[in-house]
Amino acid sequence: MSNNTLSSYRDTFVQYIDFMKNEKNIPIDRLSLKHLTRDNALHFMKWILDDRGCSPATRNYRLAAIHSFVSYLQYEVIDNAEEWQKVLSIKAMRSESKALTYLSTEGIRLLLAQPDTMTSQGRRHLAILSLMYDTGARVQEIADLTVESVRIDYEPYSIRLFGKGRKSRIVPMVKEQTEILRQYMAENHLNDSNVYASPLFFNNRHEKLTREGISYILKTYADLARKESPELIPQKISCHSLRHSKAMHLLQSGINLVYIRDILGHVSIQTTDIYARADSKAKREALEKAYTNLNPSTTSTREWERNKNLREWLKGLN
């Protein structure tokens, strides 16, 4: 599993331990597997929603972690198999599907015009934002990039990203995409073989940037761009919005969903299909193209009835 998944599972059981202590009066030194029951798990789910004020999506993440642990226990603690089955029978809640937040091409152009390229920091920020959009990468994938992930010395240009579950994929890059990245790497002496394992993007301490750090960079320039053209930059924007934007722009350019799936690193085409469902422009154009007018004509052939001046109407006949 990825580090993010491990963190999610860790948080789940830290919260479960706190829940059992505060709500069930069972401290950690007395907590055992017999306390992991369907009733306690259901109460824990309710506590996450009501007391912690979390969303159904977060509740489902916590349930997935418990399900994963209980699936493991089925083979390790067979004597309690009946209770494990009861826990596994707890269903996920249906959560509302959020509308995709993405920027138009004009919005992306405006956003990328904000960094001050007269400064080294501005050039670094432009390299981060443009690469995140160009590759459709997740924010963690950008943070995890190392110098050896980049192949821009010769064509075909590409970059290797490590996605969920540490699954890697190679994303092709066109020449125009690589110029900003190439200049950034040259300026920061990242073309030497002895730095191949170093982070591609780093802070003042030469440590790799965090997800929060990259998100802060995006928010800073999004706020600047929004002041210039509020209609082009959504009020709520995240690093994932750039990923959505790239996918939508590829789709609107006529790129097959299968190729978009591979670029984004989706396991299933059904995941990528959300962009086709969300593209209202494509839907409208498809409807207009397929439209056949079957409605009866509402235009009367008795045109003189609409002209009260019969004499003028007669004079207009040729």
Domains of the chain: 3-88 (no CATH), 105-280 (1.10.443.10)
Q: Whole-model pTM above 0.85?
A: no
- 193-251 pLDDT, tens digit each: 788 899 999 988 889 999 999 999 999 999 999 999 999 999 999 999 999 999 999 98
- 105-121 pLDDT, tens digit each: 999 999 999 999 999 99
Mean per-residue pLDDT, 132-142: 94
HSE at residue 318, side-chain half, CA atoms within 13 A, is 0
- 83-98 pLDDT, tens digit each: 999 999 999 998 766 6
Distance CA 258, CA 245 (A): 17
pLDDT reported for residue 267: 81
Query: For the chain, what percent of residues have pLDDT higher than 70?
Result: 88
pLDDT reported for residue 301: 56
Closest CA to 83 of 33, 148, 147: 33
pLDDT reported for residue 7: 87
**Band of residue 172 on the pLDDT scale cut at 50, 70, 90:** very high
- 272-300 pLDDT, tens digit each: 887 777 765 555 555 565 555 555 555 55
pLDDT reported for residue 5: 83
Q: At residue 171, what are phi and psi to the nearest 5 degrees?
A: -105, 125
Three-state SS at 158: strand
What's the CA dihedral at 266, 267, 271, 275 to 10 degrees? 30
Q: Which residues are catalytic?
A: 138, 164, 240, 243, 266, 275
